[in-house]
């Protein structure tokens, strides 16, 4: 198995569309943004963060893999909102 697809599905996808774009783990984003895991998890639940592209909770490694562009855009948006002046 290749994540969420069988070996046959994987081979067929490679023929038709090529490789998927690289994904990043939740831990990699914690390091990149300089925040602790529980802090980033809180932001994800409070500010309706992006869903994992591959949820590894069903696999042995337990990693969640995210689209880096989507995750960074969401992070930029919520960080701006946190520092933006609030209306009276």
Task: Quote the pLDDT of residue 18.
Answer: 74
Q: What is the pLDDT of residues 12-58, one digit of tens each?
A: 878 887 776 788 988 999 999 999 999 999 989 888 899 888 776 65
Rg of the chain, C-alpha, whole Å: 16
Q: SS3 string of the chain?
A: CECCECHHHHHHHHHHCCCCCCCEEHHHHHHHHCCCHHHHHHHHHHCCCCCCCEEHHHCCCCCEEECHHHHHHHHHHHHHHHHCCCCC
87 pLDDT tier (thresholds 50, 70, 90): very low
Residue positions counted in the chain: 88
């Amino acid at each position: 198995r290749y994540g969420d697809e069988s070996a046959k599905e994987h081979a067929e996808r490679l023929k038709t569309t090529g490789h998927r774009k690289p994904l990043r783990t939740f831990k990699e984003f914690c390091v990149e943004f300089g925040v602790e895991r529980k802090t980033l998890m809180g932001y994800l639940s409070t500010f309706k963060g992006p869903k994992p592209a591959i949820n590894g909770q069903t696999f042995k490694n337990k990693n969640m893999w995210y689209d880096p562009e989507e995750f960074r855009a969401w992070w930029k948006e919520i960080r701006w909102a946190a520092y933006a002046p609030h209306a009276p």
